Structure 1
């Protein structure tokens, strides 16, 4: 499945929860594709890949920096992974 279809699915699912799924652009290579904003000041960073996708070296490096700051980056590789992300978001307080 194309990454763009997974990205659209994520956007649609987030919007069903009343949130925003914003495209994240930056001058720094490796930043996650999307910022997910949900009610109650809930913010998530999401890097989308398809089933064959791999994280680049800059992405791995930046994800480690995020983790050291206590910020998790989710990396769904399929619609099923997006569903798991949504379930986690709902379970953790949405």
Structure 2
């Protein structure tokens, strides 16, 4: 399974629950997550997509720690199961 297929599925699943999974680019800052997920009620989740079994790079781990310190979660997704887990997490969020 390719990373692009996982990314397309993520986008579709987020749209089905009323959100947007936008490509996230930050010129001048490397290692930012691939997608910013905007959810009803003003909730935001960042997603780093990986090919199955691949890990975050050192710069991505650094950015994850930075985002964590600001109170934002970065989800690493490398499978359809991870997408399903994210959807369950979103459904349990308080709105």
Note whether the superposition's TM-score is higher than 0.5. yes
Paired position in structure 1 for 2:68? 67
Shift of 1:89: 0.4
Structure 1: which 5+ residue stretches go unaligned? none
Alignment of 1:4-83 (within 5 A): 4-27=4-27, 28-83=29-84
Number of matched residues? Answer: 94
Shift of 1:29: 0.6
Separation in 2, partners of 1:93, 1:85: 14
- Give the structure-1-normalised TM-score: 0.95
Separation in 1, partners of 2:59, 2:33: 11
- Give the structure-2-normalised TM-score: 0.94
Separation in 2, partners of 1:68, 1:21: 22
> Post-superposition, which runs of at least 4 consecutive aligned residues in structure 1 deviate over 6 A?
none
Structure 2: which 5+ residue stretches go unaligned? none
Separation in 2, partners of 1:29, 1:22: 17
Shift of 1:52: 2.6
Q: CA RMSD in A?
A: 1.0
More strand per residue: 1 or 2? Answer: 2
Within the alignment, does 1:84 sit opposite 2:73 as a pair?
A: no
Shift of 1:11: 0.2
